[in-house]
Structure 1
Amino acid sequence: MQMIKRFRREWALHLLLVPGVLAAFIFSYVPMAGIVIAFQKYIPNKGIFHSPWVGWDNFKFMFQYPDIGQIMYNTIFIAVMKIIAGLLVPITISLLLNEIRRETFKRFVQTMIYLPHFLSWVLLGGILIDLLSPSQGIINQMLGWVGIKPIFFLGSNTWFPYTLVLSDVWKEFGFSTIVYLAALTSINPSLYEAAEMDGANRWRQTWHITLPGMLPIIVLLSTLSIGNILNAGFEQIFNLYSPIVYESGDIIDTFVYRLTFEKVQYGLATAVGLLKSIVALILISVSYTLAYRFAGYRIF
């Protein structure tokens, strides 16, 4: 009875949810029926209902695929580096910005580092290709000034993964920095005053007050990032890589893309994507459990 009264009182709010729920159902849940393709030798002109059933053959072939081990390694390696750098760089920059006393300059810096977050990888990919060109790129020209030979950042299997990480950090660290700066505002200023009266310098104040005050949000973002361990950044890599760097830059998402649109192996591509989704679901569940246990964060 109480639930009915509450619904009558809040029916307008529930009505506002209807478009979002319908969109999620149509674009997120209905396509799940396509999972059956992972167990078929899918033929487009026959459709799902008439394509031959192959059972687990696609999954067996996936694990026997010659490059699957390297692809898994690339995915995890690039994703882990992005997660680590995506935590350390914003924390460091937020601590440095917190020491700036001129609010005008501080806001200017925040705006400038936050701006790349709003740019797509299609645009940034073109910019990076020009900047990192081994012949005319400004980065290699600057390296030449100090006697370093040109480096083919986007065409070398040695440099390509690290180029991906650095460019991703450059694009996204501004957003995380704003989050950490917001966390800093919740720290009681009287703690700094008491520490200063006790003779603590700025470094000790940072170590014993600032970092512990940021610890809940650091733990939260760290645990939530576990769910992205298999998401190394399809859009970024797709706009920057080429066959010459498949060895070091090919990840699960780009592999699935090529299987689908270049090799037309729909069943195998769906099997790879399904396996990734299952692993991601497990990791996300673990990350939310850890976030609730160590940071008191819960979404449900």
Structure 2
Amino acid sequence: MARIEYPVWTVARSALAMPFRYPLALVRFGLLPLLIATVCLPPPLNIGQTTTTTVDGVDTGAITDMFSTTDNELGLRDLVGFLLMLPFAAAFAAAWNRLTATGDATTMGRAPIAFDARTVGVIWGFIRLACVALGMGLLVVVALFLIFGKYQDGQLSFNISYTTEVDGLGPTLAMIAAMLLVTLAFAWFVLRFALIIPAAAMANPISLKESWRLSAPVQFRLFGAALVATAGFFIVYLLMSLVLALLFGALGARGTFYVAVVLYFPVLVYAHAVWAGLLGASYGLLQPAHFAAEAKAFD
């Protein structure tokens, strides 16, 4: 079987750069999901500043200024907000998948949003992928309970915390490495099934089994591209944070709050675009017969 061309750096760079190459498309298709998210799911931000007052050298107490956008409780409102936002997020993902898979902005559909069979397919893909992740997560939790759980006097306890002071440096580092490997393995596993999203966006729905088979020849290169794209995303995020911190830093806690609010939703849309772009570009390379213009994404 011929080796499938999958340039890791090119795919990751394309996913990161697409929002900057098509800023108008990002705004046209991402603004509505952004507004829906703002209304339905306010960011869970709590930022405080404590100042101590003194009179004649005597501490008279501390005053805390707290800036918050959430009640710190997950409830019905948050669930309803997520369900209201999901169709808009799926429609954006579907449009962005088509852009990155073909390199042709005309394939995105009608702005600002297009609720069609492809969007419904992406929503169904989200649900199936979430079920896979949830099932895998439950298996990991059960395995951890079997390894670290204790049952004594009718009570089940579970503790995997390690500290260098109590357990020593070696066991602590070993535990950190083990948890990192579990996290990476989990991400690799979910990525193998994630091609159902761009397939649905291209009106060519596939099963979880087909996604697993389709991603097999490039599974580690796909995982590598995901790691590179994630690292690149955090670099962009840090640069944006630095610029805003310089602008609002003199305002103290209030300035930090403004930075967090200003960054939260644009970063959310950018992250969504990066991951949709990664999957779309990957599917475009793995199924080139469906796209006559897939090479344009890597110009």
* Bucket of the pairwise TM-score, normalised by the shorter protein: under 0.3
Q: Which structure's relative contact order is higher, taking Cα pairs within 8 Å and 6+ residues apart?
A: 2
Q: In proportion to residue count, which structure has more strand?
A: 2
TM-score, length basis structure 1:
0.25
Q: In proportion to residue count, which structure has more helix?
A: 1
